Amino acid sequence: MNKDRVKLAVVGVGNMGSFHVRDLAKQATAELVAICDIDREKADRYASEFGVPAFYDYREMLDRATLDGVVIATPHYDHTPISIDAFKRGLHVLVEKPIAVHVKDARKMIAAYQEARKVKPDLVFAIMFQQRTYGFWRKIKSLIDDGELGKLVRTTWIITDWFRTQAYYDSGGWRATWRGEGGGVLLNQCPHNLDLFQWFTGMPRRVAGFASIGKYHNIEVEDEVTGYFEYENGMVGHFITTTAESPGTNRLEIVGENGKLVFEDGKLTFVRNRQSMFTFSKTSKSAFDKVEAWEINIPYHHHGEGGHRFVLENFARAILFGEPLIARGEEGLNSLTLSNAMMLSSWLKKPVELPLDEDEYEARLMELVRTSRFQKPAPVALDEDLNKSFGFH
């Protein structure tokens, strides 16, 4: 694209979209040109603050505004139709996480993107996985990719510090319902962790999930989940999460033949084996000796921000100059597959193989939507800084 700044619009200016609007307004490579929200008051408020037109229907905005692309920050189900309609008009898309509610919807988005690229090959599809910019996650990724751990054996992530109160769940009518959100902790809080999990170690071939529905909150979706993953290369994975634990834990352990990498409380430690534990196990004459190991504090540089603005800037530079994306939209399929697979396994009470039976997942989800009798209390707005919800997650 032969110009200095891309013209972008934000669809959905709630908690997250209002941050994106502010970030975009400060960017050198992007220009905020329109705002859309079905809540007229919100759309008008941000449009007047930033001096751009307000729209209340995204299709009208896509047709009438002069745009290069859209940033989608609506509730999850709407990610699919808005992305597809944008691609049909040849517009670039940056979608918030999760890419969609279920894998079939995500595939429709990817198909629309691929179709649109036949006409416009440099079309960009990105997803907001801002945690991929965090220094400690990048360091872990590079250590694994460089083979420092050798053959991987186990990855365990206890991520139980996504604490949310009942007031949080009561604050948005769409939250924590099958019809409005399409899931709970896996779909709302965990997409970042599930994305990082697959970014570090790839996708499993088999998934078992154990999910509790509304165990600690008055909600109809999952608020406590344990997942177990098996990989082609023999590695096993554990993913343990909830929104009910305070203080909760965020501990990631990745074990390979060359040692154990642990990230917890901001500290990245590598307990490095002097030789492969497999070689030692085969050759040692002792029954109980362990491999000599050294504890190393791994340094990393972290920017210390939420990181969304880096993904927005990268999106604009990808459009302008072809810069590689921090996270390609299609990659959102993997974390969503893990999320859907854990839920399907939990419903079926048995492990599921990947690729996932997408039709069955969609059918079961739609049945939950259809038969829902859950009465959500009237939304009570929160007046809180969204920054409090970010952190080391």
Query: What is the nearest approach in angstroms of ligand NAD to the Cβ of residue 282?
Result: 46
Looking at beta carbons only, is 228 or 315 nearer to ligand NAD? 315
> Could you tell me if 325 and 155 are in contact, meaning their C-beta atoms sit under 8 angstroms apart?
no
Query: What is the nearest approach in angstroms of ligand NAD to the Cβ of residue 297?
Result: 28
Check the CA dihedral 9-28-21-123 and report its sign.
Answer: positive
Looking at beta carbons only, is 15 or 276 nearer to ligand NAD? 15
> Could you tell me if 163 and 246 are in contact, meaning their C-beta atoms sit under 8 angstroms apart?
yes
Q: Which two tokens stand for residue 147?
A: 């083979």
> Could you tell me if 127 and 331 are in contact, meaning their C-beta atoms sit under 8 angstroms apart?
yes
Looking at beta carbons only, is 186 or 316 nearer to ligand NAD? 186
| Number of residue whose CB is nearest ligand NAD | 14
Amino acid at 224: E
Query: What is the nearest approach in angstroms of ligand NAD to the Cβ of residue 77?
Result: 9
CA gap 271, 184 in Å, rounded: 35
CA gap 181, 273 in Å, rounded: 45
β-pairing verdict for 92-95 and 125-127: parallel
Query: What is the nearest approach in angstroms of ligand NAD to the Cβ of residue 35?
Result: 9
> Could you tell me if 186 and 219 are in contact, meaning their C-beta atoms sit under 8 angstroms apart?
no
Query: What is the nearest approach in angstroms of ligand NAD to the Cβ of residue 95?
Result: 8
Nearest to 149 by CA among 312, 17, 261: 261
Amino acid at 43: A
Beta-carbon count within 10 A of 92 CB: 27
CA gap 357, 103 in Å, rounded: 9
Looking at beta carbons only, is 61 or 261 nearer to ligand NAD? 61
Query: What is the nearest approach in angstroms of ligand NAD to the Cβ of residue 270?
Result: 28
Looking at beta carbons only, is 81 or 150 nearer to ligand NAD? 81
Looking at beta carbons only, is 55 or 270 nearer to ligand NAD? 55
> Could you tell me if 37 and 20 are in contact, meaning their C-beta atoms sit under 8 angstroms apart?
no
Looking at beta carbons only, is 182 or 259 nearer to ligand NAD? 182
Query: What is the nearest approach in angstroms of ligand NAD to the Cβ of residue 94?
Result: 11
Query: What is the nearest approach in angstroms of ligand NAD to the Cβ of residue 379?
Result: 9
Query: What is the nearest approach in angstroms of ligand NAD to the Cβ of residue 110?
Result: 17
CA gap 342, 337 in Å, rounded: 9
Looking at beta carbons only, is 97 or 272 nearer to ligand NAD? 97
Looking at beta carbons only, is 259 or 332 nearer to ligand NAD? 332
H-assigned helices in the chain: 15-25, 40-50, 58-64, 79-88, 103-119, 135-145, 166-170, 185-188, 191-201, 277-283, 308-321, 332-348, 358-371
Q: Which two tokens stand for residue 374?
A: 């859950």
Looking at the DSSP bridge assignments, the partners of residue 211 are 225
Looking at beta carbons only, is 270 or 315 nearer to ligand NAD? 315
Burial grade of 177 (CB within 10 A; 0-12, 13-18, 19 or more): buried
Q: Which parts of this chain interact with ligand NAD (CB under 6 A)? A: 11-17, 36-39, 42, 58, 73-76, 78, 96-97, 128, 130, 172, 188
Query: What is the nearest approach in angstroms of ligand NAD to the Cβ of residue 122?
Result: 25
